[in-house]
Amino acid sequence: MPNPRPAPLPASVDATLDLLTGGSYVADRSLATSLYLALKLRRPLFLEGEAGVGKTEIAKVLSATLGRKLLRLQCYEGLDAAAAVYEWNYARQMMEIRLAEATGDRDRDALSADLFSDRFLVKRPLLQALEPDLAGPPVLLIDELDRTDEPFEAYLLEILSDFQVSIPEYGTIRAAEPPIVILTSNRTREIHDALKRRCFYHWVDYPSAAREREILAVKAPQADARLAAQVVGFVQSLRGMDLYKAPGVAETLDWAQALVELNQLELEPTVINDTLGTLLKYQDDIARIQGSEAARILAQVKTELAATTAR
């Protein structure tokens, strides 16, 4: 439920870090810094990184901790203004025309003025984001921007710099207060410099081992500490290998949860082989890791863990 009184925006990097932690998001300080700057200077934040490192999650956490509405625009190829910004409710408009004809009590000018009024305007995420909200400006998540085509990207330029939308029949809608905008990209395509220039940019990297253990402790608390340490160690060494697609944080969480479901207290080679599909998504990669390679990595992880606990 959104709070009746919105939480204030964080006043420092530390406060931003606390805010994220409050939403059970374990963040690096670099990310908190860019986020703080974006919030403070009211600029969109452009997040790029491999799939599954928690880019989308940031927007969700922000919306939850700040008590703001979350508006999500999932991008896809061919996304156009009708699906992203607004559309007229054609069926209702036609019905209105028919009704006016049937009753015959309205003149043409009044009808056409009424046809393009608020009543018939279907608002999509981008337009909704410009509207005032009691809880403060909403969080606008433009997800996987790299999936759209260039025309839409160019369209975004106006919205992201001026926070306004022009509707020919209706007029220009301008946000009294700009929304908090988070853009994400998996880099399946380069985003144009013109768009990047209007945003703060942050590359979301894989977390360090310590950070990833914290994430596991927060997000998968059922997992035994020793199991979690082994899982993180295993995943981290996989990321160092020459794989087609290295596992992201989301995969680590999936794997830990799968192991908990299987009542594992410790990693074993056979269990790894059976559950590798939660971690690796390419058959080539699975074939490479399965069997002796997995056993070797596991042995290495265990010795390292033993060394650190003994110290």
**Contact with another protein (CB under 8 A) among 14, 150, 162, 266:** 150
Residue 74 binds to another protein (criterion: CB under 8 A)? no
Look up tokens 């928690």; give the residue.
54
Please count the other Cβ atoms lying within 10 Å of the Cβ belonging to residue 27. Answer: 23
Structure-token pair, residue 11: 């006043």
Look up tokens 């290295």; give the residue.
246
**Torsion-angle region of 59 (φ positive above 0: left; ψ -120 to 50: alpha; else: beta):** alpha
Residue 90 binds to another protein (criterion: CB under 8 A)? yes
Structure-token pair, residue 98: 């028919």
Sheet strands (E) in 175-286: 180-185, 200-204
Please count the other Cβ atoms lying within 10 Å of the Cβ belonging to residue 144. Answer: 18
**Contact with another protein (CB under 8 A) among 91, 102, 134, 307:** 91
Selection from 242, 234, 217, 307 nearest residue 268 by Cα: 234
Restricting to residues 205-264, name those near another protein by CB under 8 A. Answer: 244
Q: What is the DSSP secondary structure assignment for residue 120, as one 8-state letter?
A: G
Q: Least distance in Å: CB of 188 to another protein? A: 5
Residue 93 binds to another protein (criterion: CB under 8 A)? yes
Q: Which is nearer to another protein, 4 or 104 (CB)?
A: 104
Q: Which range touches another protein (CB under 8 A), out of 13-21, 31-39, 145-153, 294-302?
A: 145-153
Q: Which range touches another protein (CB under 8 A), out of 60-68, 89-97, 156-164, 215-223?
A: 89-97
d(CA 279, CA 298): 15
Kindly determine how many residues on this chain lie close enough to bind another protein according to the rule CB under 8 A: 29
Q: Which range touches another protein (CB under 8 A), out of 14-22, 78-86, 173-181, 257-265?
A: 78-86
Look up tokens 């650190």; give the residue.
308
Residue 292 binds to another protein (criterion: CB under 8 A)? no
C-alpha of 143 from chain center = 6
CA atoms within 13 A on the CB side of 142: 32
Q: Least distance in Å: CB of 89 to another protein? A: 9
Q: Which is nearer to another protein, 77 or 176 (CB)?
A: 77
The secondary element (H helix, E strand) that includes residue 249 is helix 249-261
Look up tokens 């901790």; give the residue.
65
Q: Which range touches another protein (CB under 8 A), out of 26-34, 57-65, 97-105, 194-202?
A: 97-105
Residue 190 binds to another protein (criterion: CB under 8 A)? yes
d(CA 1, CA 130): 21
Residue 189 binds to another protein (criterion: CB under 8 A)? yes
Q: Which is nearer to another protein, 137 or 247 (CB)?
A: 247
Q: Least distance in Å: CB of 207 to another protein? A: 22
Restricting to residues 112-141, name those near another protein by CB under 8 A. Answer: 112, 115
> Footprint of another protein on this chain (CB under 8 A)?
76-80, 82, 88, 90-91, 93-94, 97, 100-101, 108, 111-112, 115, 147, 149-151, 186-190, 244, 284
